[in-house]
Structure 1
Amino acid sequence: MTGPTLEGPARLVVLRGNSASGKSSVAAGLRERYGRGIALVGQDVLRREVLRERDIPGGANIGLIELTVRHALAHGFHTVLEGILSVAHYGDMLARLLADHRDRSHWLYLDVPFEETLARHATKPIADVVDAGQLREWYRPADLLPGGVETVVPASSSLPETVELVLRASGLAEAYRGE
């Protein structure tokens, strides 16, 4: 089983940031602009929907996320991993992906202040279930990976600007040749 024909090796894009920072929207925007050939791996989908697991250290979702990313890349799909992916819980897995993926990768941290997180969260369907107190507990300012591997994207970057930044920086803007 193989993925679509792509020019060049499969790229890995990792989008991290706090809740309501725009990660899922950027991932969807990348797929919309790029088309077929991008695998979207969402932490929330695998953790909350597939496993219905809480975000805990050593959780089963961590291995499932890593396995899914590796599988998609091995089959030729450019892969976008998106999620809060806190360093405390996911740092080791992310370090393995960074070390093992020899092809082009781009790592971004969407840096949104807590006040803006609250405003954005209010527009989401889960706003009735998750309150400001829970968001405050989850919020980790500048939860960056060690080594300066991530490009920090400020809250002032619009969705179209951020999608364009990722397309250009990752090489996806010129990688696709086909449908």
Structure 2
Amino acid sequence: MPRTTAPGNGGTRLVVVRGNSASGKSSVAAGIRDRFGRGLALVGQDNLRRTVLRERDVPGGANIGLIDVVARYALDAGYHVVVEGILYADRYGDMLAGLLRDHRGVSRCYYLDIPIEETLTRHSSKTDPDYLARVTELELRSWYRERDLLPGGVETVVGADSTLAETIDRVMRDTGLAGLPPRID
């Protein structure tokens, strides 16, 4: 399928979920997909950067273009897309701005604004002991960026007072995904 400059169509939905480590981005993205069903692609920064490319998060990293290409490809194939990750504004902002500008359907961005202390609490509740041993409080603090919002006010800020279910409900409503059927094929 050839890449178009204007990905998707009037019926596709593009959702961007950003925030600090342990803010709940992956849980929100998985919840949206579970709620919607088939026909919604998850484009996870961690999967493409760490698993596919085994790349560190650096300015100009190859994963930035890969996230863009995968999201565009899925939109062109008729999938709704959720792009999720820390996606620092200074590194990923231009790519995200281009994707949002070019997408022909409904696009919405969400920033999970979770204070550092809540981030540490959420992180400590993870059940993978290997991950907890690898990712320390010191690392979480060094990665943390307070309100690292994209320019132009394009993001809906979701605070720590919004439960996982409430956040998923909000995204489903705001984007119109709640009223759309999943793919059958």
Q: Partners of 1:178 and 1:92 in 2: how far apart?
A: 31
Contact 1:16/1:85 (<8 A) preserved: yes
**Counterpart of 1:164?**
169
* C-alpha distance after superposition, 1:89-121 (max 9, x if no partner): 111111111111121011000010000000111
Superposed displacement of residue 8, structure 1: 5.7
Q: TM-score, normalised by structure 2?
A: 0.90
In structure 2, the gaps of 5 or more residues are: 2-8
**Counterpart of 2:95?**
93
Paired-residue identity, %: 63
**Counterpart of 2:147?**
142
* C-alpha distance after superposition, 1:160-179 (max 9, x if no partner): 10000000000000022665
**Counterpart of 2:125?**
123
Write out the 4+ residue segments of structure 1 that deviate beyond 4 Å after TM superposition.
none
Q: Partners of 2:10 and 2:63 in 1: how far apart?
A: 30
SS at match of 1:160: helix
SS at match of 2:108: strand
Q: Partners of 1:149 and 1:76 in 2: how far apart?
A: 24
SS at match of 2:18: strand
Contact 1:8/1:175 (<8 A) preserved: no
SS at match of 1:20: coil
Q: Partners of 1:115 and 1:85 in 2: how far apart?
A: 20
Which aligned pairs between 1:36-51 and structure 2 lie closer than 5 A? 36-51=38-53
Number of equivalences: 174
* C-alpha distance after superposition, 1:107-163 (max 9, x if no partner): 000010000000111122222111111111100000001111100000110011000
